[in-house]
Structure 1
C-alpha cells in the first residue's frame, strides 16, 4: 500500500479544505462519491486515502472516516436486499458504541420503529445530518437503524466537562438522548455485527491510525538544526521499521478483502490482527518521537503536540490487551495465520 494514492484532484481538495468540522464534512461528502468501497477491488486505494487524511490531520480523518464507513454499510445493505432511504448530500455518522449505565432501545410503533434512551460516544452529532445507530431490540440483540439527527426528540447530552480532551478536541463526542425518534431498520437484528464489512471498517480505522503515525514520524525525521547521534538514528529506524510492518500488513489485508478471503470468521481474525499490529506500530512511533525529540516540540510546536494527543486518544478505540486476548482465542481455535 503506497502512502499517498488519492489523486491530484483529491490532494488539492485536501490542501484547500477549511479547518473545522464543516470543512471536514464537506470534504467527506466529496470523497464519498469518489473513493471505492471496501471489497470492491480497490480496498488498498480506499485505505491509502484514509491514511493520507490521517497523515495530514487526524481530526479531519476522524470526521471523514465514519461518513465513508456509513456509505459503505448502506451499499452493503442495498446489496443484501435491504431498502434504506439515503438522503442526497447528507453527512453520516456511525454510532455503535455502548457505555455503562446507558442504553438505547428500539420498539415497534405501527409499521415503523421508535428509539428511546441514550447513545454514548456520538462524534459530531451536532454537525451531522443522519446516522446509523445500533439499538437494543430485546435483552439479547441489537439492530442497526438509520436516524435523522434533525428529528424532534434528538438532543446531544452536553454538560459541564462532557467533552474536555487534550486530543481530537474539535471532534466532539457526546451522548445523544433520543425520545420517540422515528428510525428506519437497516437489516435484521445482529446484521451490523455479522456482515463482512464490519471487519473491513475496523481495518479502515487502523489505516487512519497508520496515517496519524506517519504524520508524527515526519516530524521525527526532521532534525531541525540538531545533529543526530546514534541513539537518534535508532529511534528513527524503529519508527521506519514499525511503519513498514504496519503498511505491509494493511496491504496484505486489502488484497485478502478484495480476493474474498476476509469474510466471516476470517474477516474477524484479519481485523484483530491488523488492528493489533498497526496499534503497536503507532505506539512505537509515539515512543520514538517522544524519546528522541524530548519535551521541546511538545511545548513549542502546537501542530506536533496536537498530533501526539490526537493519535494517543484515537488509538484507545483499540482495546489493547483485550483485543489481543480475542486474537489469541482465534489462534487457539483455528491455528495462526503463520
Structure 2
C-alpha cells in the first residue's frame, strides 16, 4: 500500500497532472494528523485548512487519496468540499447569499419517516422548524447546507448555523462499529434563522448534484484500494495457490474498471454540456459500489478472519467502508438507470 510509508499518490490521475503539487502539501498535512479520522477535532481542523482543488478530477483525486489514508477522514472532508462547491455554484447561477463561509461545513439533505424540517418566511426572514435526520457531525461542525420543505411538494436549500441555540444535535442513536466517530443523528430546529441558497428545487436541478454523488464514490473507491495490497502479498507468497491469485485478480479487475469509470466521468463532467449527467452519475456510482463490495468480499475470503481481529487499521477500514457504502442507493439507483434507458436516454 505504501511508498515510503505513505499511500500511493496519485491514485486516479497521471503524476504530471496540473494541481497535484499543491495537493501533495495538503496530503502531507493529513499525514501530520497523528490519529487521522479518529481524533475528531484534529481531523476537522485539517479539513477546514484544505484548499478546494480547481477541477473535478483533482477533487476526486484528493478524496480518493485521503480515503486511502483513512476512510473516516474522507467522510469528513467530502461534504465540506461539496458544501463550498454548492455555494460557488449558487453564486455562478445568480444567487448571492450573504454568508460567512469559514469553519467546517456539512450537507444535510436526507429525509426520513416521521421527521420533517420546514422553512417558513416572515417579513423576509426565513426560519427552520422541525427535525432533520442523518445529520453527520452536526454536534461538531460550524455550519451546514440543509434542505427544508417550503410547501407540501417542494424543498429548498438553506445555510444554517449549527451553533445557533435553536439547533439541537442529538447524540444518537449511533451504535456504529464503522465510522464510529462520524455520528449521523437527527437535529431538532426550533426557529433558527437560515439563509436561502438557490430557489425551490434548485439543489436537485443543478449539475453539481450529479458531480457530488460521484465524489462520494471516489471516496469509496480510494478507501478500498489499500485492501488490494494484502491480497497481492498473500498471492506472492511461496505457499500461495491459484485461489489466492483468483481473489487478487477479482479485486484488481473490479478496482481497475471502477478507476477507468471515475476518470472518464470526471473528463465528461469537466467538459460540461451533457444532458444525462444523472444517468452517468448513477452508472458510475453503481460500478464503484460493486467494485468496493467485490474487493471487501475477496479480501475476507482470501485473508480469513486474521486481519479483521489482529490488524486494527485493516479492521477499521473494512468496518468504515461497510457503513459508508450503504450511502449507495443500490437497487433504487439501478431502477433509475433502467427508467432512463427505457425512456431512450441510454447514450454511452
Go from structure 1 to structure 2 and tell me whether the alpha carbon gap of 1:71 and 1:100 turns closer, same or farther (over 3 Å shift).
same
Q: Does 1:212 align with 2:223?
A: yes
Query: SS of the residue aligned with 2:289?
Result: helix
CA contact (8 A) 2:52 2:59 kept: no
Match of 1:8 among 24, 31, 53: 24
Q: Does 1:30 align with 2:49?
A: yes
Match of 1:63 among 76, 91, 94: 76
Q: What is the rounded CA distance, in whole Å, between the counterparts of 1:157 and 1:30 in structure 2?
A: 27
CA contact (8 A) 2:106 2:144 kept: yes
Greater relative contact order (CA < 8 Å, ≥ 6 in sequence):
1
1:82-120 deviation digits (Å, cap 9, x = unpaired): 112332532110000001110000111221111000000
Go from structure 1 to structure 2 and tell me whether the alpha carbon gap of 1:201 and 1:322 turns closer, same or farther (over 3 Å shift).
same
Q: Does 1:167 align with 2:178?
A: yes
Q: Does 1:281 align with 2:291?
A: yes
1:103-161 deviation digits (Å, cap 9, x = unpaired): 000111221111000000001111111100000001101000001011121001235xx
CA contact (8 A) 2:60 2:218 kept: yes
Residue of structure 2 equivalent to 1:195 = 206
C-alpha deviation, 1:9, in angstroms:
1.1
CA contact (8 A) 2:247 2:299 kept: yes
Match of 2:244 among 232, 237, 250: 232
Aligned length: 328
Q: What is the rounded CA distance, in whole Å, between the counterparts of 1:148 and 1:18 in structure 2?
A: 29
Unaligned runs of 5+ in 2: 1-11
Go from structure 1 to structure 2 and tell me whether the alpha carbon gap of 1:239 and 1:68 turns closer, same or farther (over 3 Å shift).
same
C-alpha deviation, 1:252, in angstroms:
0.4
Residue of structure 2 equivalent to 1:17 = 33
Residue of structure 1 equivalent to 2:319 = 309
Residue of structure 2 equivalent to 1:291 = 301
What is the root-mean-square deviation in Å for CA atoms of aligned residues?
1.7
Q: What is the rounded CA distance, in whole Å, between the counterparts of 2:113 and 2:171 in structure 1?
A: 17
Unaligned runs of 5+ in 1: 37-41
CA contact (8 A) 1:3 1:51 kept: no
Residue of structure 2 equivalent to 1:125 = 138
Match of 2:111 among 65, 75, 98: 98
Q: Does 1:252 align with 2:264?
A: yes
Q: TM-score by structure 1 length? A: 0.93
C-alpha deviation, 1:277, in angstroms:
0.3
1:229-268 deviation digits (Å, cap 9, x = unpaired): 1100011111111011000010000010111144xx4110
Query: SS of the residue aligned with 1:98?
Result: coil
Residue of structure 1 equivalent to 2:156 = 143
CA contact (8 A) 1:18 1:24 kept: no
